[in-house]
Amino acid sequence: MQRKHLRSLLKLAAFSLVLALVLAGSSGLAAEDDIQRAMTAEEGLVAAGHPLAAEAGVRMLENGGNVVDAAVATGFALGVVEPHGSGMGGEGQMVLHLAEENKQIAIDFSGEAPSYVPDPEDWDTETEDPGEGEHWRRGNTASYVPGTPAGLAYALEHYGTMELAEVLEPAIEYAEEGFEVYDTLASEIESAMTYMNDGFAEVFYPDGEPLQSGDMIYQEDKANTLKAIADEGIEAFYEGEVAEKIEDYYSPENGGFFAEGDLASYEPVESEPSQGSYRDYQVFTSAPPKVGPLLITQLQIMDQFNISNFDVDDPLYMHLMMEIHNLGLEHYDWIIDPAYGDSPVELFTDSSFAQEMSFKVGEQKREDYVTDQLDNPIYYLDWDKVNEVRGEEVVDSSTLQTVEGNSDLEVSEKESTTHHVAIDSEGNAASVTQTVSWIFGAQVVVPGTGINMNNGIGLFSDDPFASTRIDPGKRPRSNLSPTILLDENDEVFMAIGTPAGGNISTSTAQTIAKIIDHEMEIEEAIEHRRFNRFGNMEDPSDEVVEFLEDRGHSINVIDYPDRSMGSIQAFYVEDGIIFGGADFRRTNAVDGF
């Protein structure tokens, strides 16, 4: 695959100007004119949810660090400058490619349910009125044991080259010296006033009023917590005074579910990533309890179709992709915490399974995507154009194994999540997704720590028979899908990921296809309008809506751009040049050299 990159290099400045103009006219999005959304680099690059976070990672690379040093510095910095989307009180997953060893690693730092969570039968999922007290979605009944500090520190210790104190310097600087509140942050602060505790108000509502865009924000307690980690190691968070403050605030005596020692017992989990393929590329993405295997299912169903024969704006292509997204995610309930059961990862990442699933795509939208068994009879409606662009023939479905699933009722993480990617001069790559679940998580800042806590309890099910039922120590299923693609020479081609809850895998798959199949330059692929499997579409034409509704889809027209459709950070490498892009749907930026 070759692109004509001369015009890409010439048009970057013009592209940035266009994005600035679009942003300035878009409700709820940052309007900063000087954010760098796309660039080329030769030695190293970081794309992240805020310019200061990208700068933090690049600072590590310029100081001789490797990609893990950069990714960890960026991850901690995001918790300061993008507190509504991530932080020390949250969770995430990191996927790494280590070039010299040709080794791929997934580091899971999901949150864990604390010791005293009630039995599902006693779980209060109905309380919504803030006048009735805090409930499972906000307040100190909403949080599980955070994993982000442990996960980042683990990655640094095992695969980085710098000391923890070095990579924490930018985050400490931003928290202590402050930074300017931007439009998106100001909007999210104002929306958080319903449930916020006193610790939250002290940081984000000084003098009783919400911080406004252009104000300076200072996070002294957060800076002190980061300094303690820098001086004493990660134990300062999980075993020291910080842990005591968290466990006390979340203790049963104060209405929470944490026991003494819940933080000290937390450990991140290293595993092999979920692995599949797309076209000529190897794909590595998140492992359970994240739903990366189902992103691979979608990509490998897409691989059965020569979708480059479609125009990317063809409504028939949109129908095809929506059906693929639905098929790829129909076994969502089968992903589970490995400590509590086995997910059929090998099946979901098997190209034979994808080949069978591709024959379920028809001219009309399927009425039911839920199956009791994976060996349901396949069917294919005679659809001339799809048949024309279909790839290889499928294998006999009798070769596939059968497993049984279950159905969960759960709340997906919202568009508060954040993502960053990084690459260094040695060809090592990182793709990292972090979250606090909903906007500002539980809307709780633990007093004296500056830590805004997650509300990940909402990711569990209140069904006592569900695979994600609430149990102490369990890690919930979530949509995080940080992804890396390698070429036929086992060299990194792309790193990509996004926030967006249930839209994470669909927005990621669409962007991968735009770069590989439609040969879009990275900024064009990221900027292009998106849609999801439920029929939400960024400002489609009337003709597109009519076409899709005629085929059984219920279309919901949303604004373009819309943050719910994700916030892609990505790069690809071609002829030794790194092409990086950061989504203009939020306050994202790319930096490098």
Beta strands in 26-80 (DSSP E): 38-41, 45-48
**Partners of 39 in the beta sheet?**
580
Determine contact, residues 496/568, Cβ cutoff 8 Å: yes
State which amino acid sits at residue 273: P
Confidence of residue 372 (pLDDT cuts 50, 70, 90): very low
Asked whether 371 and 344 are in contact (CB, 8 A), the reply is: no
Split at pLDDT 50, 70, 90, the class of 356 is confident
pLDDT over 60 at 343, yes or no: yes
Give the tens place of pLDDT for each residue, 93-150: 999 999 999 999 999 999 999 999 887 777 766 655 444 444 567 888 899 999 999 9
Question: Which tokens sit at 284?
Answer: 């590595």
For residue 369, pLDDT over 60 is answered with: yes
Question: 3-class DSSP state for residue 361?
Answer: coil
For residue 157, count other CB atoms closer than 10 A to its CB: 14
Q: Check residue 389 and give its pLDDT.
A: 38
Bridge partners of 107? 94, 270
**Do 250 and 139 touch, CB atoms closer than 8 A?**
no
Chain centroid to Cα 419, Å, comes to 5
In the chain, the domains with their CATH numbers are 6-270+411-592 (3.60.20.40)
With residues binned 3-state (H G I as helix, E B as strand, rest as coil), the percentages for the chain, rounded to 5, are 35, 20, 45
User: Cα separation of 380 and 358, whole Å?
Assistant: 9
Contact indicator for 60, 161 with CB cutoff of 8 Å: no
**pLDDT at residue 30 greater than cutoff 80:** no
pLDDT of 419 > 80? The answer is yes
Binned at pLDDT 50, 70 and 90, residue 366 comes out as confident
Q: According to the model, what pLDDT value does residue 455 have? A: 93
The predicted model gives 271-287 an average pLDDT of 98
Backbone angles phi, psi at 157, to 5 degrees: -65, -40
Does 414 score more than 80 pLDDT?
no
Peptide bond into 289 cis (omega under 30): yes
**In the structure encoding, which two tokens stand for residue 545, read together?**
């809506």
- For tokens 């309007």, the residue is 31
Proportion of the chain above pLDDT 70, given as a percent: 84
CB-facing half-sphere around the CA of 439: CA atoms within 13 A? 16
Q: How confident is the model at residue 20 (pLDDT cuts 50, 70, 90)?
A: very low
Q: Are 566 and 507 in contact (CB under 8 A)?
A: yes
pLDDT of residue 551: 95
- pLDDT for position 127: 58
User: Who wins on pLDDT, 395 or 124?
Assistant: 124
pLDDT, one tens digit per residue, over 69-78 is 999 999 999 9
Q: Do 457 and 535 contact (CB within 8 A), yes or no?
A: no
Is the pLDDT reported for residue 478 higher than 70? yes
Percentage of the chain with pLDDT > 90?
72
Q: What angle do CA 412, 78, 468 make, to 5 degrees?
A: 25
Question: Looking at residues 143-159, what average pLDDT do you find?
Answer: 98
Instruction: Determine the 3-state secondary structure of 184 from DSSP.
Output: helix
DSSP annotation of 474: -
